[in-house]
Amino acid sequence: MAFLPKEALTLTGGCYCKAIRYTIKIPAWDHRHAVPNAVETPISATETVETRLPVVMIDHCNTCRQVAGAILQSWLISPVGWVEWDVLSKEPADETLHLSTIDAIGPVRDNAPSTYVTRFNASDRATRAFCSRCGTTLTYISHKRIDTPLAAVDITVGSLDNESLKLTRPERHAWFDYGVDWVKSLLTKGDGGFLVRHGEGNLSIMPSNTRDDEEIQKEDAHRTCGDW
């Protein structure tokens, strides 16, 4: 990803209930794989760089939108070998299993451990995974190159921890031609200043400019999104 630091770094994330956790270990820029035939990534109005993994994109496809239950999905695409998983087992109960990407969220295989990872195949081309305890959508993995060195996994950007999310800026849109017109307009042209911006879920409260990020995050951890 063009906007990440050039140095090696680690991103972390997982599901809401913490039954499923992952760690993405991204090497330094010189050791990140180039994406074959990809359009270069703009980093300013006049500069572009070679597109290398991980790639972070906003996805407008209808299937991903429906599976996420949100107007958009956003993915971080990484080689499977960069990602490790710590997953709670169901049997025996609550034992933490350290698994590879393929074993944790890939297609179901014989003798797979019993965990809170649930797979869903929208087609025979890919496997999606989510947490069966809290419902968090986590991954999409294509079967096309799954047993090759080019195997990659798409991880939902929204499942990243806050500190990792701050580093993870999208660099492109995917399936843009298939997107919803008002969503595309909102992203590319802005809201025109006409959307009401509430500081919280309470529809009577306007935004506050006096609270810092740490204070807001502490409050958010104890608040239910649907409260209004």
Q: What ranges do the domains of the chain cover?
A: 9-180
What fold characterizes domain 9-180?
Answer: 2.170.150
Q: Which residues contact 12 (CB under 8 A, 6 or more apart)?
A: 21, 22, 23, 24, 160, 161, 163, 164
Q: Report whether 138 contacts 131 (CB < 8 A).
A: yes
Query: pLDDT 10s digit of each residue in the chain, 228 long?
Result: 668 889 999 999 999 999 999 999 999 999 999 999 999 998 888 999 999 999 999 999 999 999 999 999 999 999 999 999 999 999 888 899 999 999 999 998 888 889 999 999 878 899 999 999 999 999 999 999 898 888 999 999 999 999 999 999 999 999 999 999 999 999 999 988 888 888 888 888 777 655 566 666 666 665 665 555
Distance between CA atoms of residues 92 and 30, nearest Å: 42
pLDDT value for 226: 56
The DSSP letter of residue 160 is B
Q: Phi first, then psi: what are they for 100, rounded to 5°?
A: -75, 170
